[in-house]
Amino acid sequence: MEKLVKEKVSTGAYESPGDVVREALRLLEQRDAEILEALRRDIAAASEQFDRGEFTTYSSSRELGEIIKAEARKRLAKQAAKKS
């Protein structure tokens, strides 16, 4: 990491290592804020769906787990097929 910071300063992109760190922290905060906002939107949408009765009831957590695993396997197979 120190090498990367020195490289950024040596190229003239930043005046000091502190400037590199400040920019990195600013970008990290920005990314975290974007993730938090996306989660809030998803929660709001899910809440609205629930209020409209748009949900599925499962008989057990095991049943739900099996459904999730099956869906994950389908998605992985689809991704693998795209790479081939």
Q: Where are the alpha helices (DSSP H) in 1-84?
A: 2-10, 17-51, 61-83
The values of phi and psi at residue 11, to 5°, are: -80, -10
Whether the CB-CB separation of 22 and 28 falls below 8 Å is answered with no
Distance CA 30, CA 22 (A): 12
The percentage of residues in the chain with a pLDDT greater than 70, rounded to a whole number, is 100
Please state the pTM of the whole predicted model.
0.63
pLDDT in tens, 17-66: 999 999 999 999 999 999 999 999 999 999 999 999 999 999 999 999 99
Cβ atoms within 10 A of the Cβ of 23, count? 13
Beta carbons of 15 and 9 less than 8 angstroms apart? yes
Closest CA to 4 of 22, 27, 20: 20
